[in-house]
Structure 1
């Protein structure tokens, strides 16, 4: 697809000058922009910043667009964010449960086998011990990686059915790399301790979780973090959709409700847009690379928010994973476990996450909600509650899917952008999995590098061609 020369459409006065241009006002873009002050302009297509780190109000109930807990992976990020949010950011050690055909136990299941039926528990231990003795480091695909790590029984009981629901593809078609964030392989002694019903439950997985709990009125949920970062961005422009990137002339055209605007950056351009979008918007991108990026496998997440009036269920944990095929969701998330004020005192909210292959036909939101309601009732919830409102949130891409072919395309795309002076960051910008803390860490580091480095002599803004 050819793009018109952007300067031909605008007069000189309509070119906005900035040292650093950041495309996308999600967590990565906001984190970088928050450190750069008046050096940077951040463009965000939505009316609110935050990307997927947003919280929606449904009547008197609050739901995160997709659920996030903040786990700090670097001391400097923890110091910065805790200093920014103060007492609003509260410890939130997650409690998660796994529902399997052999019983319900704590997550991660491999550390809490005591909750399973005795026969299943014994088989899991035997197979895990055999896998640990074999210690196979190499795997041809994701299914083999899981088998090598956990043994046959644990895979058949949880890892195979759950990951089949999550990735929506045969597991032997997925890469053995890229998924390690989703795996915790403990030592045999730890597994044996967790299989003993007489021992106390071990500390929760990723125990140092954090979640905002504001004390007063106003927005709740993880969007509090996005708002705090956005408040430190000197030039944040909402409703600015990137239409064209010209890295050779350092020009970006954005569509706004008032009309198109052209931006000229004199130092750097950071894109946190999904990698296929960034490549497609580059007018100089080869057609075959654009086509390959469009075909990068990914899954969308449709989260059904149910606002329930009635007594809050006990013992749910923060979320529960489901392997059974007769319910559409991979997990249920209980919002008032993160912050009791996310719902009125006489109610609670549950977020049902449904994963689908991007690009495939989907049922309507109304039909999906009906299916989720049937599933929630089937797992024993809503016996005493009344759903008073519902809404469906969309995230596409939601999960990047790792295959050997996709890895080659991703490396080529990132190389193409780097050769043209464009930096790609963020979970979708670099087309990988990364936590919120990791996203902010990489964005802060990139911005700190710019602040500490001398500015290159900027090229002059290109003169518009005569119409």
Structure 2
């Protein structure tokens, strides 16, 4: 039998560092920026940032996946402000919701004032009944019903979440999705139903980089600033094997095969199924269980439009309509007017696909999104689409089921027992904001023996 072990051939070169960080996304860059010369960060792509990157179509700029910064920890805020200075500008989020009974602000449960009076009344009646007779939900569908009542669920939460998760809501866990839900009290919802002005929701204090000039715009400005503080950043290095016993990670790059040896710590921000599959000592059963963890991929379709910018769109709009493919449209010039030429604007459409299912071709996706954008009435007369592109994030959203927690806990125990710390949104197989990711990464780096020794 042929020996197919990735360790048979000798590496072209060897590198030693105190700390080795796998993945140059936000978590890896944040940790590496604090550790400086003590750490080496290896990243598969030709630019750092992971999901926090910005792409160009001519003079139009698009974040691969839209992000706003919400600071939940003063240490993170202080560090990011020190990095970006006045480039970081206030950007309080303005999100809208399109339903079959009209449009209102997001989150819809705090802004029923935008809906017809009879709809508001039905929502409030159902909501009071649900809260008067609380039940312990067994799945995500029951969680939504118990939190918001049937009218509001049928109006928004059910159709939107069916488009977002692309699987029966009753098959999803009742826990794990709380990041996606704002659960105000009945009194708060009643105030939002009767308020003459929109009610703010969670994360009302947002920030976005708006450089006056320079080679880059969008949220990649943050990634590049963090990368500039990393002592040793190796781009275009794909991790092909991990041996925790010898503290060795093998990579493949255009320059050849490299073995990285770490003397203190290894931090993995790679997706949890990926790092487990690469570990030489991982049990086959665990590798298979991790490979089967459900998730959705995000297909972000960017359209560059020449023509007058649409008015009063908000930063993004959620769509419950099932005759359009996107869950939301993101208007890039609302974040930064210079993300497009003065006579144009860019829109980013988010389409979700189950990762275990077929992937639609880029051409068909662009055609569907173009039709949908026209269908919802965003293109003014004389406007024309002058460019398009598709950016795929897989995994994009982690899907929580009752079995997910057991598998991720087992995988985490395996990795930590071998001296590898999983971190980040996909490294821990959960959902986390940019601020949360950086907070965890800074905290881990600050406690590393490499920094404290």
Q: How high is the TM-score relative to the length of structure 2?
A: 0.97
2:324 is equivalent to residue 327 of structure 1: yes
State the Cα distance separating 1:201 from its structure 2 match. Answer: 1.9
1:284-323 to 2 correspondences below 5 Å: 284-323=281-320
2:52 is equivalent to residue 53 of structure 1: yes
**How far apart, CA to CA, are the structure 2 residues paired with 1:347 and 1:421?**
51
Residue in 1 aligned with 2:148? 150
**How far apart, CA to CA, are the structure 2 residues paired with 1:406 and 1:319?**
30
Residue in 2 aligned with 1:141? 139
2:68 is equivalent to residue 69 of structure 1: yes
2:335 is equivalent to residue 338 of structure 1: yes
Residue in 2 aligned with 1:193? 191
3-state SS of 1:6 partner: coil
Q: Deviations over 1:288-330 (max 9, x none)?
A: 1111111100000001100000110000000000001100000
Q: Which runs of 5+ in 2 are unaligned?
A: none
Residue in 2 aligned with 1:112? 111
State the Cα distance separating 1:116 from its structure 2 match. Answer: 1.1
1:117-266 to 2 correspondences below 5 Å: 117-136=116-135, 138-196=136-194, 199-266=196-263
Q: Deviations over 1:144-180 (max 9, x none)?
A: 1111111111111100110010001100100011000
State the Cα distance separating 1:2 from its structure 2 match. Answer: 7.4
Match of 2:448 among 422, 447, 450: 450
**How far apart, CA to CA, are the structure 1 residues paired with 2:159 and 2:354?**
16
Distance of aligned partners of 1:389 and 1:454 in 2 relative to their CA distance in 1, 3 Å threshold: closer
State the Cα distance separating 1:194 from its structure 2 match. Answer: 1.2
**How far apart, CA to CA, are the structure 2 residues paired with 1:151 and 1:242?**
47
Determine if contact 1:2/1:283 at 8 Å carries over to the other structure.
no
Q: How high is the TM-score relative to the length of structure 1?
A: 0.94
The answer to which of 181-190 and 54-63 deviates more is 181-190
Determine if contact 2:6/2:241 at 8 Å carries over to the other structure.
no
Match of 1:274 among 271, 274, 287: 271
**How far apart, CA to CA, are the structure 1 residues paired with 2:259 and 2:8?**
8
State the Cα distance separating 1:217 from its structure 2 match. Answer: 3.0
3-state SS of 1:71 partner: coil
3-state SS of 1:32 partner: helix
Determine if contact 2:445/2:451 at 8 Å carries over to the other structure.
no
3-state SS of 2:347 partner: strand
Aligned residues: 451
Which 4+ residue blocks in structure 1 deviate beyond 4 angstroms?
451-455
1:25-36 to 2 correspondences below 5 Å: 25-36=24-35
State the Cα distance separating 1:363 from its structure 2 match. Answer: 2.3
Q: Deviations over 1:265-286 (max 9, x none)?
A: 0000000000000000001111
**How far apart, CA to CA, are the structure 2 residues paired with 1:15 and 1:47?**
21
State the Cα distance separating 1:8 from its structure 2 match. Answer: 4.9
Determine if contact 1:93/1:204 at 8 Å carries over to the other structure.
no
Determine if contact 1:142/1:175 at 8 Å carries over to the other structure.
yes
Distance of aligned partners of 1:452 and 1:248 in 2 relative to their CA distance in 1, 3 Å threshold: closer
Distance of aligned partners of 1:452 and 1:73 in 2 relative to their CA distance in 1, 3 Å threshold: farther
3-state SS of 1:21 partner: strand
Residue in 2 aligned with 1:406? 404
3-state SS of 1:367 partner: helix
**How far apart, CA to CA, are the structure 1 residues paired with 2:306 and 2:402?**
47
**How far apart, CA to CA, are the structure 2 residues paired with 1:448 and 1:428?**
21
2:366 is equivalent to residue 369 of structure 1: yes
Distance of aligned partners of 1:395 and 1:248 in 2 relative to their CA distance in 1, 3 Å threshold: same
**How far apart, CA to CA, are the structure 2 residues paired with 1:333 and 1:33?**
31
Distance of aligned partners of 1:158 and 1:191 in 2 relative to their CA distance in 1, 3 Å threshold: same
Determine if contact 1:30/1:50 at 8 Å carries over to the other structure.
yes
3-state SS of 2:161 partner: helix
